[in-house]
Amino acid sequence: MTMTLAFSRTAVAALTCAAALALAVPAWAEMMQMKANLSGANEVPPNDSKGSGTVDVSYDTASKTVTWNGSYTNLSGPPTAAHFHAGEAGKNGGVAVPIFSAANAKNTFSGSATLTDAQANDLMTGKWYVNIHTAAHKAGEVRGQVEK
């Protein structure tokens, strides 16, 4: 009987430890904070825009959700679109995630999206930038690399 009781206590202890570890996994997820500072000088090639802006970016590694809050000022005209692009500093790349279109452009903006594994990897390794486009600068008037 003592042997059975000792075995039962060991089994319960092992199950308790396993359950505690399973519940602790979400605590390993991180909320990463990043920022992009937008200017015409950051465009590729650079331009002489007087526009500027900032975008604060949060990334939840557990849910793969990216969230952003940004603003801009002094563009040459109304923005036609804004996007996160995949690309290293000094290089242009394709659209990764739309931020806003001309229809809902305001001086401040926010949003969120769930990323693919490839998008998450690019974001976390510094290969994303924000670009705001205007009619005068169709390829982008202000740009900023997303940095930790």
Render pLDDT for 22-45 as a digit per residue (tens, 0 to 9). 444 445 678 999 999 999 999 999
Residues in the chain: 148
pLDDT band at 148 (very low <50, low <70, confident <90, very high): very high
Q: pLDDT tens digits, residue range 56-92?
A: 999 999 999 999 999 999 999 999 999 999 999 999 9
Q: How far apart are CA 61 and CA 65, in angstroms?
A: 7
Q: What 8-state DSSP symbol labels residue 93?
A: -
What domains are defined for the chain?
Answer: 29-145 (2.60.40.200)
Strand order in the sheet with 52-60: 95-101, 79-86, 128-134, 142-145, 31-39, 52-60, 65-73, 108-114
C-alpha closest to that of 123 among 87, 70, 93, 82: 87
- b/e 39-63 (16+ beta carbons within 10 angstroms → b): bbebbbeebebebbbebebebbeee
pLDDT at 80: 95
